[in-house]
Amino acid sequence: PAAGEVVVVVVAGAAVAPPAAGEVVVVRTAKWTGERLSVAETLKLEEGQPHKGEITVILDPSVQHQALLGFGTALTEASARVCGALGSAGRERLVDAYFCKRTGLGFNIGRLHMNACDFSDGNWSCCEQEGDMELSSFSIARYEETILPLVRRAAQASGAPLTLLASPWSPPKWMKENEAMCHPDAGSPHKDKPGKLKKSCRAAWAKHYVRFAEALRDAGLPLWGFTVQNEPDNPAAWEHCLYSPTEERDFIRDHLGPAIEASGLDLKLVGWDHNRDDLFLRAHTIYSDPEAARYVWGMGWHWYGDPRYEFWADRAGQVCFDNVRAVHELRPDKHLLVTETCQEFGPHLGDWSTAERYAEGIIRDFNNFAEAWIDWNMVLDQEGGPNHKGNKCAAPIIADTDRDQVIFQPSYYAFGQFSRHLQPDARRILCAANRDCLETTAFANPDGTIALVVLNQTRFTRGFCIVVEGRLARTVALPHSITTYVLRRPAAATAGAAGGQ
């Protein structure tokens, strides 16, 4: 298809057969050739060395780093509503396209919003009763309408329970200083107060996390963990709750951490959950307090703030990929994961640049020790909604509910170049290219294969060779392409690979 053309397909296709020893299976998605997760060729690893000046990607499976937790998407109320608006065949196609390991992306993680978010059907919470400090009116009945049925269907497609991460956008309005989950109305007597949690409600709000986890456990969908707060530094028009670095630290240390520990639930706690630019500041503040740090599994972040894609981003540059590695170096015993990504300002139908943004981000964050990548909405409608605050965005799959069609975006296929070939518990291995035109990452899978992903964002075909343990294979990276090389080393070369962080 031409640039900008919408691609409509059914599924990603059958899983690629694993290579034999000494073989390299090449799977490619490219802007101009029409290839979408297409098996391009099978190469042979042969003895040899690269020529002087030849573009080269070197793999060393003996040096291994973090284990891969997986890939996921957000099962928002908006996504559940859009999915429900499709016919039964469209619904099945959509869910399988994300979660089926054989024909889909094989996602294994789901993110849930605790209480409403902007991609909800209006503004609501699990505990609407004013002043209910004991949470006696707490209920997840709203989730049983649309969200939890979607989660169950996703787990069924996956063939295993999902790793579920929940994030709050806002406490109930009566817990907030401004008495509103979003911004108060212009005539409100609280309109000049900040959108922060009342000090008197900190214990009750911490209890809310526990009650939410208990309710989901009782519904047969136990949570893996929580982020403390979605975008705690963003006074958005939609649901929000602001925490300074020290306020988040103190809430974890004095209320949320102890409440989760006392509950006996095995729940991970993830800090920050906002953009990379201030990731290190937040991590340094929380980890500098041993009592707060002991409750925290790791740090999560979003990708927003890239001036190539967001008009509001600081032109001085606030992408800050290196901050991820800095946090790892600060506390290598803690964990790192991407908790939200999407392209803002509409659906961006057929946009190839979004696919390259995903591929670049995944490569660079994984190379900086990220262990998982969670996207934002699983599916949106043809306008990039519904969103009760008009904050329309793109998703890897768009549903044209008027025509009962599922539209697969280039970003969907970009995800597939990673998630269909990098298995959970895979270990990132040492990987280096000698030219900047190729962006690369590589993982050793539990099944003995190695998956190398190569991104070429240039308009030129780049010939190069892959070198592993004294053997090589020559190939090309097409212009504007994402290519995965799945290889199995010859039997004589597989013994003795070891390593660590």
Angle (nearest 5°) at CA 324 between 279 and 229: 35
Mean pLDDT calculated for residue range 429-455: 98
> What does the pLDDT read at residue 453?
98
Extract the tokens encoding 485: 């090389």
pLDDT for the residue 373: 98
Average pLDDT for 141-151? 97
- Per the CB < 8 A criterion, the answer to whether 371 and 336 are in contact is yes
Residue 7 has pLDDT above 80, yes or no: no
Report the pLDDT averaged over residues 300-306: 97
Structural contact between residues 122 and 388, judged by C-beta atoms closer than 8 angstroms: yes
| Per-residue confidence (pLDDT) for residue 14, from 0 to 100 | 64
Determine the distance from the C-alpha atom of residue 410 to the mean position of all C-alpha atoms in its chain, rounded to a whole number: 16
Q: How far apart are CA 97 and CA 102, in angstroms?
A: 9
Query: Are the CB atoms for 289 and 301 separated by under 8 Å?
Result: no
What is the spatial distance between Cα 101 and Cα 158, in angstroms, rounded to a whole number? 6
* Residue 170 near residue 208, CB atoms below 8 Å: no
In this prediction, residue 88 carries a pLDDT of: 94
Q: What pLDDT does 2 receive?
A: 40
DSSP 96: H
Res. 221: pLDDT tops 90:
yes
pLDDT, average across residues 275-299: 98
CA distance 444 to 426: 5
Q: With a cut of 70, say whether residue 343 has pLDDT above it.
A: yes
Tokens of 24: 């390299």
CA distance 268 to 417: 28
The DSSP letter of residue 20 is: P
Q: What angle do CA 24, 29, 31 make, to 5 degrees?
A: 140
Pairing of strands 109-114, 70-74: parallel
- Measured CA to CA in angstroms, residue 334 lies from 194, 237, 254 at distances of 32, 33, 20
Of the chain, the percentage scoring pLDDT greater than 90 comes to 92
Contact assessment for residue 426 and residue 444, using Cβ atoms and an 8 Å cutoff: yes
pLDDT reported for residue 432: 98
Residues in contact with 191: Cβ distance below 8 Å, sequence separation at least 6, in sequence order: 178, 183, 184, 185
Q: Is the bond into 172 cis (omega within 30 degrees of 0)? A: no
Closest CA to 234 of 176, 306, 289, 183: 183
Give the pTM.
Answer: 0.95
Phi, psi (rounded to 5 degrees) for 333? -80, -15
Determine the Cα–Cα distance for residues 376 and 339; give it in Å rounded to an integer: 8
Mean pLDDT, rounded, for 125-143: 97
Calpha distance 197→167 (Å, rounded): 15
Cis check: omega of the bond before 386, within 30 degrees of 0? yes
Q: Going by DSSP bridges, is the β-strand pair 38-44/46-47 parallel, antiparallel, or unpaired?
A: unpaired
Contact 158, 195 (CB under 8 A): no
Q: 156 in helix, strand or coil? A: helix
CA distances from 156 to 92, 106, 125 (A): 11, 12, 28
Q: What is the pLDDT of residues 450-478, one digit of tens each?
A: 999 999 999 999 999 999 999 999 999 99
Q: Residue 491: what pLDDT?
A: 76
181-195, 346-360, 440-454: which has the minimum mean pLDDT? Answer: 181-195
Interatomic CA distance for residues 222 and 225, integer angstroms: 9
Order of strands across the sheet that contains 397-400: 380-381, 397-400, 405-408
How far apart (Å, rounded) are the C-alpha atoms in residues 52 and 199? 65
Residue 6, pLDDT > 50, answer no
